Amino acid sequence: MSCANVIKKERTSVINPLVTCQPMGAMYAVSGIRRGLPLVHGSQGCSTFVRYSFSRHFREPSEIAVTSLHEDAAVFGGRKNLISGIGNLAIRFKPNLIGAISTCSSEIIGDDMEGFIKVAREEMKKRMGEKEAEKVKIVPISTPSFVETHFKGYDNAIKALVNNLACDPSESNEKVNIIPGMVNPGDIREIKNILNLMGAEGIILTDISDPFDSPLRPSKTETKPFYPKGGTTVEEIEDTSNSLGTISLCGYAGSGALSLEKKYDVPAAVGPIPIGIQNTDQFLRNLKKFTGLEIPDTILDERGLLIDSMADLVSRYLFGRKVAIFGDPAISSGIARFVCELGMTPSVVCTGVENPEFVEEMKKVAKESDEHVDVLIRSDLRDLETYLQENPVDLMIGHSDGRLFAKHLDIPLIRVGYPVYDRVGYHRVPIVGYNGGINLIDRITNTVFEKYYDKEHWKLQQ
């Protein structure tokens, strides 16, 4: 029986990292709230890097505020910066929510963010009036940059939002909470499509689909609005305690779901991300369990189309090909299972975190594979590059940060996840659900055609 061979990085240095720090994940989550503003309590670089990264991937501007701590804050603290920053944002931009996100600097100097926010509220009441000040929700989000990764920061943000905003339960809203993880706008829209076909309503925690992929619609009455269209409303987050259940698509984003279950008895299901046949089947079973709704023929037809695509392509072009997968732990494990379903071999799967759920999922995937799977955890892309020099594969699946050594090793790279900045439009194309599976199998097969089937081969086929 095949098994997963778990390998940890031995170097202490990091070369070409697969992860960044916690605040980035929190900014991602808060950006999915309607009229929500991330306020980073740290230096200017803490927000500038993330804005740049978001803009490269989504091709959209992102509004992220920063308290701009300097050297004096290391001695005297950042109290003044945070209080004045919250007040200025509230008065100037009138947000529905401000997510106050800590960083390594504000955590190390020991700033009492919750205490500072209480003072900021009193200042806001004096400057804006009590009624207007109460309209602005302020949620402290602890994301110390010196531990964990941006995936943990995302999880901390979702948990902070539901813990601070969810109201005491009243009557059921007949909805399902969905925590998507750090997926793309196209993936969230596909999840919404599945909910719509099921006849179910969902609360997305949080919905970055429109905020990061907004329509540009000129208005006769106003200039471009400061806030993008869409996003999850504060009222929806307050209502999550009345939902039928919570489904977290990613194992690293389950704390919010478990918190709602513990505090308000909202049942939770954590993972797996619905990539491929088996994982999407499980997602639909969870939806059916929580809502009591039957799975309609329209969804079964989508499943049938994916299976038909597999029947058309797998045996002729994909079977037995070796694949290296890297990136987000949930997406990587989901794709690993999907390539097994396609008769391919996930020879190596690499991620930058040491995530127990990821390791357990990869052990299950390895049992479904015909060959052993090497699992690189808490690793970087230099580890993967070194591995592939000694253990060549046919394809790589991951984000754009692997493009240079993929070219050097002459291995075609199929781009998925975040970030993808050397191609356009990928954030709009889903890889989740049955439709996403069709998109992914087409992308994989076309890459195989381009790399391994030359013009002479096609002439012989005619």
**The dihedral sign for the CA sequence 329, 334, 337, 340:** negative
Do 4-16+298-458 and 22-148 show the same overall fold?
yes
Q: Where does 205-315 show beta strands of DSSP type E? A: 245-248, 268-270
Give the pLDDT of residue 225.
Answer: 67
| Alpha carbon distances (Å) from 289 to 261, 280, 284, 389 | 15, 14, 8, 46
Tokens of 458: 């096609």
Cβ proximity of 53 and 419 under 8 Å: yes
pLDDT computed for residue 7 by the predictor:
86
Note the pLDDT of residue 461: 53
d(CA 185, CA 146): 29
Q: Which two tokens stand for residue 81?
A: 């910066």
Query: In which order are the strands placed within the sheet that holds 373-377?
Result: 4-8, 373-377, 345-350, 322-326, 395-398, 413-415
Those residues with Cβ within 8 angstroms of residue 66's Cβ, 6 or more apart along the chain or in another chain: 39, 40, 41, 42, 43, 44, 46, 47, 48, 85
Domain 4-16+298-458: CATH superfamily is: Nitrogenase molybdenum iron protein domain (3.40.50.1980)
pLDDT in tens, the chain (462 residues): 567 788 888 888 899 999 999 999 999 999 999 999 999 999 888 899 999 999 999 998 888 999 988 887 777 778 899 999 999 999 999 999 999 999 988 988 888 999 999 999 999 999 888 899 999 999 999 999 888 999 999 999 999 999 999 999 888 999 999 999 999 999 999 999 999 999 999 999 999 999 999 887 765 555 666 788 899 999 999 999 999 999 999 999 999 999 999 999 999 999 899 999 999 999 999 999 999 999 999 999 999 999 999 998 877 889 999 999 999 999 999 999 999 999 999 999 999 998 888 888 888 888 887 788 999 999 999 999 999 999 999 999 999 999 999 999 999 999 999 999 999 999 999 999 999 999 999 999 999 999 888 655 555 454
Compute the residue count for the chain: 462
Note the pTM of the prediction, 2 decimals.
0.94
- CATH number 3.40.50.2000 given to 175-295: no
Burial letters 37-76, b for 16+ CB under 10 A, else e: bbbbbbbeebbeebbebbeebbeeebbbbbbbbeeebeee
Amino acid at 340: C
Q: What are phi and psi of 349, to 5 degrees?
A: -125, 125
Domain ranges of the chain: 4-16+298-458, 22-148, 175-295
- What pLDDT is attached to residue 457? 56
C-alpha distances (whole Å) from 157 to each of 263, 303, 335, 437 are: 17, 34, 26, 29
Superfamily of domain 22-148: Nitrogenase molybdenum iron protein domain (3.40.50.1980)
CA atoms 435, 441, 445, 448: torsion sign: positive
d(CA 132, CA 137): 11
Give the strand order in the sheet containing 245-248.
Answer: 201-204, 175-179, 245-248, 268-270
Edge-first strand listing for the sheet containing 36-41: 65-66, 36-41, 97-102, 137-141
Cα four-point dihedral sign 104, 105, 108, 114: negative
